[in-house]
Amino acid sequence: MNDRLAQPKTKRVLRIISVVTALLLASPVLAQPAARTVDPVRVLVKRLDLERYKATIKGLTQFGDRRQGTARNRAAIDWIEGQLKSYGCTNTERLTYTFGDEPVHRVAPARAVVDIGSDEPGLSVGGGRSRGATLQTGVNSNPNAQPDARVRALNTPPAIPGPREEVYCTKIGTGHPGEMYIISAHMDGIGFGEAANDDGSGTALVMELARVFSSPDIQTDRSIRFILWNNEETGLNGAKAYVDQRAALQGKESPAGSGRYPEPKWLGVIQHDMMLFDHGMPRADGSMSPVQRPEADVNIEFQSASKRAAQSQELAWALHAANERYATDYPAAVGRHMTNTDSTPFMDLAPAVSLRENDRGAQVGSGWDPQWHQPTDLYTTYSDKDFLLGLNAAQTTLSATARLAGATLR
């Protein structure tokens, strides 16, 4: 073809391309950058707030140590239930059981070792070898060791044998309501303090997760149950009563054809027990650092001797992965010596892990937390960095559970 004949045609094509490009760029859709996909898990994590977390712990401490079998314990259960309902977790229920006399709490050597799964208070149990300086650990049983007259008077009435209750509520899954994850902590304490860390910190964490997941703009594919155990300090009795009463009911639709599952199948149990204090090991003279150590982390533990060890380890690493992606300040560490906490009665029946401030056997049991079961376990004992460690544990569990349960925004 003659070059002079082809030139006008080429110019016309270029003009057409130019006009079409200009029209496309003027389009209101293409003129704007593509919208980024919203990560629902990150949205949920941002709804956690340090001041709200602290306020919930503070609210729990108004009941003193919340010792099981006392009026202050029952008042705390009523308060917890009221808070859950105010969050929108309105389908609250109570499990009732009977408990007798408390065991004798005795001081024990820091490294006394008994069988895995033992719940005898004051013993460091379940494996894990301590290193460095260690201190004796035990339970303060003397009310006069509490110098605050208000707290001392509040904690003076003793536990009385008889009926016990513990409260829980459930986020119902929209796709698989007959399957659930259990998020838990124990609300009772001992030691004649305020049980701010053991286990107000874990109880407040579970309550804050119930608040976030109960928002009407959040739905989950699978159910999530938020449980506040009673009688942990006497030997995990509240958790054991739950397992005894409800394990056989798992996954059964009741009434038939209703689409309701009073006890969904347990996909995993995530327990929280002492979340705040990671100041390192005792010094050679028995003193402790007054500040959070730079290496502070969230300890995620499973029990390697359990029948569900492989699944529990998988759950632990799912929490670890969520921590890496969503926690703001503190990393997580995975260990294999879960013991002496309310996930223990579940560990042969379902994947079960616990989150703590330190390794239970090698660290907490060796004096790494001098407030453990002592009058000094008060709200005012802890700094914002201590509370922030607890908030990072909340971020870890919330993000992992949101991913596992299939959380989405409406």
Say if residue 26 is exposed, middle or buried (CB neighbours under 10 Å; 0-12, 13-18, 19+). exposed
pLDDT of residue 36: 75
Side chain identity, residue 330: Y
d(CA 303, CA 345): 11
- Give the list of residues 6+ apart from residue 309 with CB closer than 8 angstroms, or none: 302, 303, 336
d(CA 300, CA 336): 9
pLDDT of residue 350: 98
pLDDT of residue 134: 74
- Looking at the fold, whether 297 and 376 belong to one and the same domain comes out as yes
Domain of 395, CATH number, reads: 3.40.630.10
**How far from each other are the two terminal CA atoms of the chain, in whole angstroms?**
62
pLDDT of residue 155: 97
Q: Name the token pair of 267.
A: 């996909």
- Looking at the fold, whether 31 and 42 belong to one and the same domain comes out as no
- Looking at the fold, whether 102 and 136 belong to one and the same domain comes out as yes
d(CA 66, CA 258): 38
Which CB contacts under 8 angstroms, 24+ apart, belong to 54-60? 54/387, 56/83, 56/203, 56/204, 56/207, 56/208, 57/196, 57/200, 57/201, 57/204, 57/379, 57/387, 57/390, 58/379, 59/83, 60/187, 60/194, 60/195, 60/196, 60/200, 60/203, 60/204
- Looking at the fold, whether 4 and 48 belong to one and the same domain comes out as no
Residues in the chain where the model's pLDDT stays below 70: 1-35, 106-127, 129-133
Of 315, 333, 335, the residue nearest 324 (C-alpha): 333
Radius of gyration of the chain (CA): 26
- Looking at the fold, whether 131 and 151 belong to one and the same domain comes out as yes
Of 68, 369, 361, 61, the residue nearest 190 (C-alpha): 68
- If one counts the domains in the chain, the total is 2
- Looking at the fold, whether 30 and 79 belong to one and the same domain comes out as no
Task: Check: pTM over 0.75? Answer yes or no.
Answer: yes
Domain coverage including residue 9: 1-35
- Looking at the fold, whether 4 and 135 belong to one and the same domain comes out as no
pLDDT of residue 27: 56
- Looking at the fold, whether 108 and 29 belong to one and the same domain comes out as no
Q: Which residue's entry shows tokens 């390192």?
A: 280
pLDDT of residue 236: 98
pLDDT of residue 138: 85
d(CA 110, CA 282): 12
- Looking at the fold, whether 14 and 126 belong to one and the same domain comes out as no
CB–CB of 90/167 below 8 Å? Answer: no
- Looking at the fold, whether 7 and 129 belong to one and the same domain comes out as no
- Looking at the fold, whether 236 and 134 belong to one and the same domain comes out as yes
pLDDT of residue 104: 78
- Crossing angle (nearest 10°) for helices 309-326 and 384-405: 120
d(CA 134, CA 117): 22
pLDDT of residue 121: 40
- Looking at the fold, whether 132 and 4 belong to one and the same domain comes out as no
